[in-house]
């Protein structure tokens, strides 16, 4: 099923109608699946000393931004909030084709939930100046909430389209996208600047090139801390996070079974009897 919605919001494009697009892509580093660790005291994820990678769903946002830059010109700025080690993720994005990388890093940001994270990132984006489009991944694979992208849009007062599977057209003042919804696709026209969260169908992420890797190695990542952003400290980090994890539980996967060796006629009869008894106990026969 297809549906069409035209969203009319009185928001002016930042760049005064220029054809080039300035795109900002917030990304996140997530632990590799086998390296997820939780702090039982604070209920937050332990990130220091853990091998992390770019959130896989953010790679689709990066690729989408690069493709738009290649088509319309402009630049792609990738930003992330995290420890100093997160600079590695930014350099990987630059090696793929992004132009600039911004690291939002301060120990005061530690333990931030989605509300505090979206606030901090939105304040950093304000410092970057004018932009046309913000593209984020649908969600992060560690928290799996899908809240940070919409949160940034709310803090910045931007039109928002979630679950974007295709960008159909970009004009001087508006963008047309297809959203993946439960009963099909929805065509949405919205003014720029805007924020999109994208799903896997939107693109196929490219690999970093040798030229890109050389550029990334020489690139100096810009770092923004709490003092640079002049944040309300009541809204950042663990203390500024309204979400509280009361208890952490780990699922136990236990399987108990009985092995009956069917050797010889006697063993075979015992095995059949044991199987029939098991099926009867489970009320399967």
Q: What is the per-residue pLDDT for 264?
A: 79
Q: What is the per-residue pLDDT for 282?
A: 82
Tens of pLDDT along 137-185?
999 988 789 999 999 999 999 999 999 999 999 988 999 999 999 889 9
Residue with the larger pLDDT of the pair 261 and 171: 171
Burial of 61 from C-beta contacts in 10 A (0-12 / 13-18 / 19+): buried
Q: How far apart are CA 211 and CA 219, in angstroms?
A: 12
**Whether the predicted pLDDT of 202 surpasses 90:** yes
Q: What is the per-residue pLDDT for 194?
A: 97
200, 4, 229, 221: which is closest to 101 by C-alpha? 221
Contact (CB, 8 A) for 77 and 128: yes
């Amino acid at each position: 099923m297809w549906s069409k919605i035209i969203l009319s919001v009185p928001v002016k494009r930042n760049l005064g109608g220029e054809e080039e697009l300035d795109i900002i892509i917030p990304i996140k580093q997530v632990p590799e699946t086998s390296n997820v660790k939780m702090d039982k005291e604070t209920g937050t994820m332990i990130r220091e000393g853990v091998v992390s990678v770019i959130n896989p769903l953010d790679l689709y946002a990066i690729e989408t931004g690069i493709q738009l830059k290649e088509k319309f010109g402009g630049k792609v700025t990738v930003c992330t909030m995290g420890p100093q080690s997160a600079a590695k993720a930014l350099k990987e994005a630059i090696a793929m084709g992004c132009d600039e990388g911004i690291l939002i890093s301060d120990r005061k940001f530690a333990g931030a939930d989605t509300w505090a994270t979206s606030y901090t990132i939105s304040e950093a984006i304000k410092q970057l100046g004018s932009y046309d489009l913000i593209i984020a991944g649908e969600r992060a694979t560690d928290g799996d909430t899908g809240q940070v992208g919409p949160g940034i849009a709310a803090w910045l007062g931007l039109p928002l389209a979630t679950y974007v599977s295709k960008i159909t057209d970009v004009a001087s003042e508006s963008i047309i996208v297809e959203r993946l919804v439960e009963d099909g696709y929805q065509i949405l026209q919205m003014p720029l600047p805007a924020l999109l969260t994208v799903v896997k169908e939107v693109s196929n992420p490219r690999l970093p090139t040798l030229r890109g890797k050389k550029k990334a190695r020489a690139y100096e990542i810009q770092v923004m801390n709490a003092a640079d952003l002049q944040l309300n400290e009541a809204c950042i980090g663990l203390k500024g996070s309204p979400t509280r994890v009361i208890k952490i539980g780990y699922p136990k996967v236990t399987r108990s079974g009985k092995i009956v060796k069917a050797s010889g006629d006697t063993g075979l009869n015992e095995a059949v009897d044991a199987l029939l008894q098991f099926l009867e106990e489970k009320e399967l026969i």
